[in-house]
Structure 1
Amino acid sequence: MQLANYLFFTTQCEAALDFYAECGLGRVTTLKRHGDYGMPLASETMRGKIMHARFEGPGLLFFASDNDDAEPMRGSAHMLVMDDRATTDRLFAALAEGGEITTHLALQPWGSYYGKLTDRFGVQWMLDCLA
């Protein structure tokens, strides 16, 4: 068994996945679009948007899609457990570009080098480094 998050966007899924790839998190390994394979469309505006994508990187797996009835992201965050501060700093800065930092990356009272942000697509990320 493995837990994997599923991110729902309204129309920005492809831009978000491209952004995560640019940040160095991994790459899309499966991609299906609304309207492909003769599947019916809920609305014409969804044609060509991402119906289902699998995104993978070292130690990372999540799924994502565009849904015209998607609700804003809330109540969940991707927590990345990191093994060195330089990589943590680089990734945190990349993900924060155009987003909002909730907790600045710093040594926290519980001993972790930790920070939290919401990226430009509304996805929350927590980076935690014990090194």
Structure 2
Amino acid sequence: MQLANYLFFTTACEPALAFYTACGLGRVTELVRHGEGGLPVHDDAMRGKVVHARFEGPGVLFYASDNHDAEPMRGSAHFLTLDDRDDMARLFARLAEGGTVTTPLGTQPWGFYGKLTDRFGVQWMLNCPG
């Protein structure tokens, strides 16, 4: 058994995945589009948008898609644990570009930690133990 998050966007899935790739989190390893291969399309605005994607990197796995009825992201966050504070600070800064930092990087009882919501509405919590 393996648990992985599934992110639902309305029409910004592909730009979000490109952003996460540019941040150095990994890459898209599977992508299927609405209307491709006979898949149904809810309306023409969804044609060509992402119906299913798999994103993978070292220690990272999540899925994502565009959905005409997607609700705003809430109630969940990606929690990344890193071994190096400098690497963590660089990744935090990249993810925060165009987003909102909700907890600036700093020392907490459980380690060096920060939380942000990226420009696509996805929450990220980064932690470096110790």
Q: So what's the TM-score if we normalise by structure 2?
A: 0.98
Gaps of 5+ in 1: none
Which residue number in structure 1 is paired with residue 71 of structure 2? Answer: 71
- List 4+ stretches of structure 1 deviating above 3 A: none
Is residue 114 from structure 1 mapped to residue 113 from structure 2 by the alignment?
yes
* Structure-2 separation of matches of 1:13 and 1:19: 10
Determine helix, strand or coil for the equivalent of 1:94. Answer: helix
- Determine the C-alpha separation between the residues in 2 that align with 1:4 and 1:84: 24
Secondary structure of 1:76's aligned partner = coil
Q: Superposed, which structure 2 residues align to 1:16-95 within 5 Å?
A: 16-95=16-95
Scaled by the length of structure 1, what TM-score is found? 0.98
Task: Give the CA RMSD over aligned residues.
Answer: 0.7
Residue 130 of structure 1: how far off its partner (Å): 1.1
Q: Residue 72 of structure 1: SS of its match in structure 2?
A: coil
Q: State the AA in 1 paired with 2:77.
A: A
- Tell me, in whole angstroms, the C-alpha distance in 2 between the residues paired with 1:111 and 1:67: 37
What's 1:125 paired with? 124
| Aligned residues between the structures | 130
What secondary structure is seen at the aligned counterpart in 2 of 1:55? strand
1:111 positional shift = 3.9
Once residues 66 and 111 of structure 1 are traced to their aligned partners in structure 2, the CA distance between those partners, rounded to angstroms, is 35
Partner AA of 1:45 in structure 2: A
Alignment-mate amino acid for residue 121 of structure 2: G
Deviations 1:54-79 (A, max 9, x none): 00000010000000100000000000
Question: Unpaired runs of 5+ in structure 2?
Answer: none
